């Protein structure tokens, strides 16, 4: 590893140095890194400083310790990597509903475009099953909020899986986690205002856009399928605003 000695903010600088090595392609998934003693000598810092930096990188899912062999760069995207992203977004988002809606729109639009690019016609056709299940839940005489919400989630998770991109899928899942309450409230208010069919049709529209590989339709329609509570707790589509 080609790393210069550091003195100030040592732990963060070690983390930054590893990041640069990965970005520049000097470190690769599966590579074994030097020992704590060797790294401390290269950085010119105490072993406890190096140990702390490695602990953080392990917690972030960048490195993994394989005892008694040594410490290695993780191979591919790992689950712990999502935690710093999730917490960073949550802590930085404040109370801005609009910003969260923008984030949701960006991720869902990007996910659908990735599906259009990566999924086969046969794979997109498999979305008809979760769509049908959502339709059955919506078309019951007294639709269950929880059942409709769960079927909605299953449909969108199926869409995300067709992106064939683990990072897109996991980040999109994180955004859906963050918008859980918002989305459930939307479903509840849609059902209470007897608009279950409209909710189903919004998802049917998304399925049609993917089936027809309608890129323009993604940009034109994605946010119009969101239903948000107005101040008096009625529900309106964003396209009606």
Task: Indicate which CATH number applies to the domain containing 34.
Answer: 1.10.10.10
> What is the Cα–Cα distance from 57 to 62, expressed in whole angstroms?
5
Is 5 contained in some domain?
no
Residues 138 and 172 in one domain: yes
pLDDT in tens, 41-92: 988 888 888 988 888 888 777 888 998 899 998 886 555 555 555 555 554 5
Residues 119 and 209 in one domain: yes
pLDDT at 7: 46
Structure tokens at 8: 């100030």
Residues 103 and 134 in one domain: yes
Residues 109 and 154 in one domain: yes
Query: Distance between alpha carbon 141 and the CA centroid of its chain, in Å?
Result: 34
Contacts 24+ apart (CB under 8 A), 77-80: 77/166, 77/167, 77/170, 79/170
* Mean pLDDT score, 28-39: 91
Is 231 contained in some domain?
yes
The pTM of this model reads 0.64
Angle among Cα 190, 196, 197 to the nearest 5 degrees reads 135
Q: Please check whether residue 221 is in contact with residue 235, taking contact to mean a CB–CB distance below 8 angstroms.
A: no
Residues 53 and 97 in one domain: no
Cα–Cα nearest to 127, from 183, 221, 205: 205
Q: Please check whether residue 11 is in contact with residue 50, taking contact to mean a CB–CB distance below 8 angstroms.
A: no
- Residue 50's CB is within 10 A of a number of other CB atoms, namely 23
- Residue 236, φ and ψ in degrees, nearest 5: -130, 150
Is 4 contained in some domain?
no
Distances (CA, A) of 232 to 155, 189, 195, 228, 236: 29, 11, 17, 11, 11
Percentage of residues in the chain having pLDDT higher than 90:
42
Mean pLDDT of the chain: 82
pLDDT in tens, 161-189: 999 998 888 788 777 877 777 788 889 98
Q: What DSSP line would sit under 81-150, residue for residue? A: GHHHHHHHHHHHHTT-HHHHHHHHHHHHHHHHHHHHHH--HHHHHTTHHHHHHHHHHHTSSS--HHHHHH
- Residue 67's CB is within 10 A of a number of other CB atoms, namely 6
Distances (CA, A) of 4 to 22, 23, 205: 15, 16, 55
Q: Is 137 helix (H, G, I), strand (E, B) or coil?
A: helix
> What is the Cα–Cα distance from 227 to 198, expressed in whole angstroms?
10
Q: Does residue 11 have a pLDDT over 50?
A: yes
> What is the Cα–Cα distance from 21 to 100, expressed in whole angstroms?
33
Domain count, the chain: 2
- Residue 189's CB is within 10 A of a number of other CB atoms, namely 19
42: DSSP letter: H
pLDDT confidence of 149, banded at 50, 70, 90? very high
Residues 121 and 180 in one domain: yes
């Amino acid at each position: 590893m080609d790393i210069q000695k550091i003195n100030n903010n040592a732990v963060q600088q070690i983390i930054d140095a590893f990041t640069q090595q990965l970005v520049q392609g000097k470190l690769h998934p599966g590579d074994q890194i030097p020992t704590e003693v060797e790294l401390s000598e290269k950085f010119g810092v105490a072993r406890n400083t190096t140990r702390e930096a490695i602990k953080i990188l392990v917690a972030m899912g960048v490195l993994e310790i394989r005892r008694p062999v040594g410490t290695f760069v993780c191979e591919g995207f790992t689950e712990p990597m999502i935690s710093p992203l999730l917490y960073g977004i949550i802590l930085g988002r404040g109370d801005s509903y609009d910003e969260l809606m923008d984030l949701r729109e960006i991720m869902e639009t990007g996910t659908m475009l990735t599906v259009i690019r990566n999924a086969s016609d046969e794979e997109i056709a498999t979305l008809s099953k979760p769509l049908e299940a959502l339709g059955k839940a919506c078309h019951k005489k007294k639709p269950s909020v929880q059942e409709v919400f769960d079927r909605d989630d299953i449909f969108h998770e199926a869409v995300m899986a067709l992106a064939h991109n683990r990072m897109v899928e996991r980040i999109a899942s994180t955004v859906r986690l963050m918008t859980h309450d918002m989305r459930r409230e939307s479903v509840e208010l849609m059902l209470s205002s007897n608009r279950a069919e409209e909710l189903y049709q919004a998802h049917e529209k998304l399925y049609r856009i993917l089936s027809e590989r309608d890129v323009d339709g993604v940009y034109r329609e994605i946010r119009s399928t969101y239903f948000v509570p107005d101040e008096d707790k009625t529900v309106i589509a964003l396209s009606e605003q």
